Amino acid sequence: MEWYDFGIYGYLTVTMTTVFTQGLPEEWQLLAVMFGFAVSYLVRPIGGLVLGPLGDKVGRQKVLYVTMAMMAISTALIGLLPTAASIGGWALILLYVLKLVQGFSTGGEYAGATTYVAEFAPDKRRGFFGSFLDMGSYLGFAAGASVVAITTWLSTHFAGETAMHDFGWRIPFLTAIPLGIIAVYLRTRIPETPSFEDNQSEDEESIEKDTEDPYARLGLVGVIRHHWRALLIGIAIVAATNTAGYALTSYMPIYLEEQIGLHAASAAAVTVPVLVAMSLLLPLVGRWSDKVGRKPVYATAVGATVVLMVPAFLIMNTGSIAAVLIALCMVAIPTGLYVALSASALPALFPTASRFSGMGISYNFSVSLFGGTTPLVTQFLLQKTGLDIVPALYIMAFSVLAGVALLFMKESSQKPLMGSFPTVESKKEAIEIVKGQDADPNIDTTHMPFSDTTTSSDSAAVEPKGVEA
């Protein structure tokens, strides 16, 4: 649902420039609509700061229900906005307001969703199961692109070339209404994660007051004080992931229309098969990371970005559809390697009691400053420099930064999440985990949330109450 909206907005940016920026100087019109991306991302850290701690306190499921409802409503309302021809500059302001609501809700959405998926996924296959979250995200973007392409073709075919500017741009946004109803209903049916419930079994007051324990539930200051290294690592990796991701998705339709000269429908349609193929391959990358580790896959992503990005944009600028498809595939390779690990590697940086908060801070600050501003910044630099490969250089810079961060990142593949019991797929696996925990290098019982009657020193003699099948 989240990425469906971004897909719609990205592929309608040029169309919405005509609808919402009437009266502005021509050189500022496209940037004004693209600023809608930046606006939504500027408020995401606030959403993370508010919804992250709330998710650690009241539960992941409750916050995820609220964020989905906010996203669905605000997306549908964009489709009902009056145009600049009707109310002048107020149309653009109202668009920004709704993008702010979307940004706030998304500040808790991705952090909460990755936390939720990571805490339910079994330790030995967290990369595989976690990758389905981002597979859904990119398929959502592809669905948005498909709806825009179909709407553009049908409306212009039956109502003339100006149909998208007249009314057609509203249709994709209004489809958020039935999708939102389904999504919100599903969110009301999901259970809370066992990891959160295990941590809630401890005394609430002692958790909040024990600020010297990094595994306790902490306020924002405590999260920053105890987990600043993990926050910086997360920010660097998220910046690399999302500059590549948003270049491939949100910025690519603008680049293909404005720089390459493709028709709006063609710019939308040409990216769909690439996004679908990349999305379907993400579980394979996730499974690979379960076997070889998250860090080697991330390192491969860094290397692929440095090697492939400049040639990809050079090939793209030759202008043919075949060249564009080849170039998009080249950009999708490092992007897929990055995003497949997001839901498994990033939540593992933080302990259970502060995981939602840590993800909310690191992910949203990074996306706000670097990822979500990628379309705006790269388009601005492109206009100022006239250099076709500016987007490639921008993406590469953040990948190099992520490569440095990897040097300080701990491997989390095959291991229980910090502050949580092992998560397994069967009772048989649970029994084997308990029997072999003394010799298993991936098991550390020191900070698992045992009940008061079982201390960490004698934990090896009993079966942890929280081992979930």
**Which stretches of 340-389 are DSSP H helices?**
342-345, 355-366, 374-385
The CATH architecture of the domain made up of 2-193+214-406 is Up-down Bundle (1.20)
User: Among positive and negative, which fits the CA dihedral 355, 358, 362, 365?
Assistant: positive
Q: Structure tokens of 260?
A: 């390459």
What are phi and psi for residue 423, nearest 5 degrees? Answer: -115, 125
Res. 352: pLDDT tops 80: yes
3-class state of residue 379 by DSSP: helix
Give the integer Cα–Cα distance in Å for 233 and 362: 8
Contact call for residues 392 and 322 (beta carbons, < 8 A): no
Q: Please say whether the beta carbons of 311 and 328 come within 8 A.
A: no
Cα–Cα distances in angstroms (integers) from residue 246 to residues 75, 254, 314, 317, 394, in the given order: 19, 11, 19, 19, 12
Residue extents of the structural domains in the chain: 2-193+214-406
Closest residue by Cα to residue 40 from 264, 379, 376: 376
Determine the 3-state secondary structure of 423 from DSSP: strand
Strand partners, 423: 468
Cβ neighbourhood burial of 368 (10 Å; 0-12, 13-18, 19+)? buried
Tell me what pLDDT residue 200 has. Answer: 62
Hunting for tokens 């302990």 — which residue is that?
Answer: 351
Q: What's the distance, CA 50 to chain centroid?
A: 18
pLDDT exceeds cutoff 60 at 141: yes
Question: Using CA atoms, how far apart are residues 240 and 338, in angstroms rounded to an integer?
Answer: 8
Average per-residue pLDDT in the chain? Answer: 84
**Mean pLDDT in residue range 250-273:** 79
Which ranges of 256-354 does DSSP label H, i.e. alpha helix? 264-292, 294-316, 321-339, 342-345
Q: Which of 75-79, 351-355, 396-400 has the highest mean pLDDT?
A: 396-400
- For 368-426, how does the pLDDT look when each residue is reduced to its tens digit (9 = 90+)? 888 777 877 888 888 888 888 888 999 999 999 999 999 999 999 999 988 888 888 88
Q: For 177, phi and psi rounded to 5 degrees?
A: -65, -60
d(CA 2, CA 430): 36
Q: How far apart (Å, rounded) are the C-alpha atoms in residues 127 and 283?
A: 8
Distance CA 213, CA 241 (A): 31
pLDDT tens, residue by residue, 186-225 = 888 877 777 776 666 554 544 444 467 787 777 778 888 8
pLDDT band per the 50, 70, 90 thresholds, residue 48: confident
Other CB atoms within 10 A of residue 106 CB = 29
